[in-house]
Chain A
Amino acid sequence: SQQGEEDPQALSIQEGENATMNCSYKTSINNLQWYRQNSGRGLVHLILIRSNEREKHSGRLRVTLDTSKKSSSLLITASRAADTASYFCATDLNQAGTALIFGKGTTLSVSS
């Protein structure tokens, strides 16, 4: 089963522009995570936001969480060509948090 759904499926921007990706989920969560996947590689953890947090920053990344709307957004500011990748949100499979389930991802293409 899939908990998170990212939107849009694909996003193309120019270097220097901001990229915003959204994630909606269905059930209550303890936290939500964002991961990045370069083409043909494993996923890499980017950032985790807890359910009692509304916003979190890490470098050029800004994540927001709205638990009332069951949604999160990932903003990448001043995008670079190296940001080209797929981005996934992930939530706990169950209350025990023993596994994560991922959305289908947003494919970001940044052209120079």
Chain B
Amino acid sequence: SQTIHQWPATLVQPVGSPLSLECTVEGTSNPNLYWYRQAAGRGLQLLFYSVGIGQISSEVPQNLSASRPQDRQFILSSKKLLLSDSGFYLCAWSVLSPGLSGNTIYFGEGSWLTVV
């Protein structure tokens, strides 16, 4: 069965510090990978998605970046955090089934980031 691991679960970082959130998926190959962010009491915002190694699509321009160094590894980074980067970050994966079959996404347990 497939599993997704995301870490760290919680972190408190000062403004201007770097960030690295990591996510790995097990039990499948060539998954689509995603980073979403959820601000307090709000919906999910798609940040990045990747359909293959080294292929990153950015949906929202900001001071975050993503990388996919291996097939089942997805990393979210920032060189200098802003207060507005605080939120709940969710990594997710799917196996693409376009069209009517749909693209069901499976989420990790999330990482709570507080920028102080």
Given contacts A41-B109, A48-B104, A98-B32, contact A105 B43 (CB under 8 A): yes
CB-CB contacts of B43-62 with A at 8 A, as 1s and 0s? 11010010100000101000
Residues of B within 8 A of A30 (CB): 98-100, 102
Contact A99 B103 (CB under 8 A): yes
**Interface size band for B:** 20 to 34
Residues of B within 8 A of A88 (CB): 43-44
B34 an interface residue at 8 Å Cβ cutoff?
A: yes
Given contacts A31-B100, A41-B110, A50-B100, contact A100 B105 (CB under 8 A): yes
How many A residues touch B, CB cutoff 8 Å? 29
> Which residue from chain B places its CB closest to the CB of A90 in the assembled complex?
B105
B90 an interface residue at 8 Å Cβ cutoff?
A: yes
Q: Which residues of B contact A (CB under 8 A)?
A: 32, 34, 36, 42-44, 46, 49, 51, 57, 59, 88, 90, 92, 96-110, 112
User: Ordered nearest first, which 4 A-B pairs have the shortest CB separation?
Assistant: A42-B107, A104-B43, A97-B98, A102-B44
